[in-house]
Structure 1
């Protein structure tokens, strides 16, 4: 067996002539013929068969290799020419082309797993059944798509009668090809009769599936074939909803350019795509498309009620902010919590340039959210020293009290690490450090450490 595995045909011949049993099996249930076939050792295979080796020998009790014949093992490693020669020789000598009942795979499926396109073609030309499934029920065609067999091998399966409609509980072959963004495979399946108008149990068309993946070619193909670009699934979602949810931005742009309705709403009354994402991605083209299609520049139909300008402000996207305001965006629009874009601009992802631009455009430096907190409160809560200093220099009221009577200093002292630095900045702008809130408590009462308390006393 070792001699066969390493291709030593002369040694193997000598051992056999000396009485070695060629039917001996190892712990896996393999004979010498199995090893020679797997390695593509055609001379050793010929010698063993001439000496009476069982061409269809297979393990009957192996946990992993039960039913594997020498031909299956050769096909399992069939990308190289030497193993293909073994396959041809074994088939020519009458090796069984189909799997025994308890084997997981047939020779054809083994060749598919190893991506041996020429072996797949040879087996089909010599009578292999293109529709005999693996033990788990998956057909050769399904596995070919799943395992990435080159298109030439898939075409051979189709030409020899592979059933394009048989999949599993999750996908048909065409749905699988679309989910893997294989446009060439999808086209070939449709050419051989696959139903491209089929809708799954969730109401998704193939265009919905294509929108969820990265292949723009599949989207273009299905639109050309006549699938409704605005078809709604059971949740009322169109392909554009799906592409936007999964953030396939190229698909979003393509669908809009092909005529997808940006104003259609799903069963929860949500639009398919928000101007917010175009702003975040800084895509002026899509932004213009959406505005031209009727999306409001102040659209705030998202969970927190924020507008596109909030997004631009929060992420420091100054060019998008300028474009939005030029298009009529409300610089003082409020989110559900009363947050205005100027509040968003003071965070760690914002910028001083953004703060200045919003102020120049009419934002109030002391604008209040629904809790009475002004932008400087948010700068303090974000520990953003630059924003705190900049707002104070621009005239922000450092002693402003929110709806509970707390000032920025009340918030600052609660941070053990940055409190003194924030208080130092605020103290340069007429900070009153002992203001009482509605509970009668001063910043000192909230201080996170004795060190902060001592520092506050120096400000009285």
Structure 2
């Protein structure tokens, strides 16, 4: 029991490390480990567990310390949700933590690791759009043309990771081109992903990829069936071709159940979108069918097209909430104009579907959209404790400051205020903890005890506030 408590003490102590990178390497971590050693504790296992925790929780400084103190870069100790079978480099890449992945690579991480499905580290990096990591792996002579158990290679992973809208599709095409130019071959599966042998491509909606494959001669126009040819002409912006179609052809859908209008809007083909709206699309009788098209227009930041389509609709606040909730999962802060336009059409920006805490602002915070969160607050979005805890969970201190600056901390009970402060202290967020104390939140018993035992001088100084 004593050994377990000692390990817990070390782990909780190091949880505190993340709050002060400047002091991390100056802490008496080694002293804590040596004390464990005096109690016959397996210090090498302790360091390995700290390393496992660090990689899992994206704590770069802790991972760096653990590696400097003998942690095996290719091994996980059994720690919480991580088993020994997991691979640290693969986990860091899956977490999209490029800085962590580069640290592990610098310290000898196994670049040739393959998981049970045949996914390589390069395939994983491709899926997570980590260009620098991909180039580093290629420079280290990984097998660029390796196939997983389904026969897919890393270019196939780039292609099959598309589908979140024109912006992200272009990013994945950049990745596919990088791999192709580095000598990755087009696999036997590649063509089948876009155009299957029977003409019904399993991913026949990936027009960015289709256009590229046609341009490099891997797919011929004759390989497309009639419907695919129509959609491809929409992607190309060929209005004259679309005008020659019969009215029944204007109503076709691809394997994703997308119609011509949705595809036209996704790829910013405003003239075609306008023609389709005015020539037999019959959306006025069922405007909710335009939801996907509106979502894609907002996602692409195509404000003119969005405004043009919106006049055909009569969407409720719940409809708009649903559209925006999808957009936030696929977007970033560079494309907030469309979301702002939709928000302006809501009668209540604090609308929710099931959970009163899950407002649009909560969704923005969860997806770490700082600019979008500021915009929503300016439009009247209310900040509550649930949203603040969401910001803390994603580890975004800047976003937390934005929320706290727009939240009346005195509107919640003293107990809730102390719980929030303790959470910030426990996670080592000095700036936010200090902010709360300066706002009048008192240091409760739990916070006081935690700070008294914390070896980080900066954190301990909060007791003097």
TM-score (norm 1): 0.42
Indicate the structure whose relative CO is greater, using CA pairs within 8 Å and at least 6 residues apart.
2
Larger radius of gyration: 1
